[in-house]
Amino acid sequence: MRATVIYGAGDVRVETVPDPKLSEPTDALLRVVRSCICGSDLWPYGSMPARDRGVRIGHEFLGVVEAIGSDVTTLKTGDLVVAPFVYSDNTCQFCREGLHTSCLHGGFWGAKGVDAGQGEAVRVPQADGTLVKLPHTEDDDLLAGLLTLSDVFPTGHHAATKAGVNERTTVTVIGDGAVGLSAVLAAKRLGAERIILMGRHRARTDLGREFGATDVVSERGDEGIEKVRELTNGEGTHTVLECVGTKPAFEMGVGAVRPGGTISRVGVPQYEEGPIGPPLFRRNITVTGGVAPARHYIPELLDDVVEGRYHPGKVFDRTIGLEEVPEGYRAMADREALKVLVKP
C-alpha cells in the first residue's frame, strides 16, 4: 500500500510500504477514507534530523473496517469509524478516569510496529477501545467535520474544559491555527460570550469570528497583551487557551490572564522552561491543559457534528490526494493552507 513517510526536516515522501495485517485478536484493519495533516506534524517537518530510514507519520483518520480480530466485539466489517490520535483499551483505570492518553495498553500512531494515519490502510490495536462508530455518509462536509473528532476539535474542547470555560468566563485564545479556531468553537459551545482571538491571518480570524470570537487582536508580545487588557477594562480574561506551543505564546497568556484566572495549554510545548515563578504565584494563576484525551470527548461532541449544530470541518481549507501529501506539508508550513485534508 501507499503511505506517508518522513525522513527529516522538509523531507516527506509517499512510498510503498507493507500492507497491514491482523497481528493480535484485539486488532482491526481499516481502509482509510479521510486523513489530514496536523499542525503538530509540522514540528518534525521543520526540525527533524535527517535519517536513512524514514518513519511513518499521521494520526488523524476516518476509516472503514475491513477485518477484525477474534476478540473484537463492538465492530463489524463495513463500519465507518473515527480513530482518536492515540489508541487505547478504554478499560484501564486511566481510561475510566477519562485520561485515554495515559492508557496502560495504549500508544501513538507511527510508533515502532504501529501504522500511521496518512496512508491507504491502518492496523488498529485495541480496536474495541479505540474506534468510535459513525453514521454512514458520503457527504464531504460531514466527513470533514467527523475527521476533526480524531484530534483538533477535542483538543480545542480540552483546552476550554480544563480552563473551566462557561457562560460566566471571558476567554482569550492564542493562535489562529486549526486548534486555536477549534478552541474558539469549543468556548462558544460551552457558553462563553466574550472570546478574544489572538491571531494575525485575516482569513483565519474571519473564520474565528464565524466560530464565535467577539474580538480579534492581531498584535503580539507586550503590544498584544496591552490590547487584551484594553478590551477587558485592564483586568485580562478569566481564561487563556494557549494553542500554539511556543514560549512567547505562553508568555502572552501570562500577560493576558486576570488574577485568579487559568491558562490552559494544548499547543505541544517547544520549550523546557517558562515563566511559572512568583508572578503567577502572587496572582493565583492556575496553569493546566495537556495532551487531549480525544477518545473521552468524542461521544460528547459527535451528535453536535452529525446534527450540524457546529461545523468544525471548516478548518480544512485544502483537499489533496495521498500522492500530494508532500505538497500539503509545504503549503501548511508556508502558511498557504490552514489545515489540509487528504482524500485517498
Whether 125 and 114 have beta carbons less than 8 Å apart is answered as yes
The whole-angstrom separation of Cα 21 and Cα 29 is 7
What's residue 242's pLDDT?
Answer: 98
Which residue do the cell numbers 511559572 mark?
A: 276
Spatial CB neighbours of 124, under 8 Å, sequence gap ≥ 6:
27, 28, 29, 30, 83, 87, 130, 131
What's residue 72's pLDDT?
Answer: 98
Residue 82, Cβ density class (10 Å: 0-12 exposed, 13-18 middle, ≥19 buried): buried
Query: What does the pLDDT profile of the chain (344 residues) look like in tens digits?
Result: 999 999 999 999 999 999 999 999 999 999 999 999 999 999 999 999 999 999 999 999 999 999 999 999 999 999 999 999 999 999 999 999 999 999 999 999 999 999 999 999 999 999 999 999 999 999 999 999 999 999 999 999 999 999 999 999 999 999 999 999 999 999 999 999 999 999 999 999 999 999 999 999 999 999 999 999 999 999 999 999 999 999 999 999 999 999 999 999 999 999 998 888 998 999 999 999 999 999 999 999 999 999 999 999 999 999 999 999 999 999 999 999 999 999 98
Domain ranges of the chain: 2-151+293-342, 156-289
What's residue 344's pLDDT?
Answer: 84
The whole-angstrom separation of Cα 101 and Cα 69 is 23
Beta-sheet strands, E only, within 42-193: 55-56, 61-68, 80-83, 86-87, 107-108, 121-124, 132-134, 170-174
Q: What is the pTM (predicted TM-score) of this model?
A: 0.96
* CATH of the structural domain 156-289, one choice from 2.40.110.10, 3.40.50.300, 3.90.1170.50, 3.40.50.720: 3.40.50.720
Q: How far is Cα of residue 301 from the mean position of the Cα atoms in its chain?
A: 14
What's residue 274's pLDDT?
Answer: 87
Superfamily of domain 2-151+293-342: Medium-chain alcohol dehydrogenases, catalytic domain (3.90.180.10)
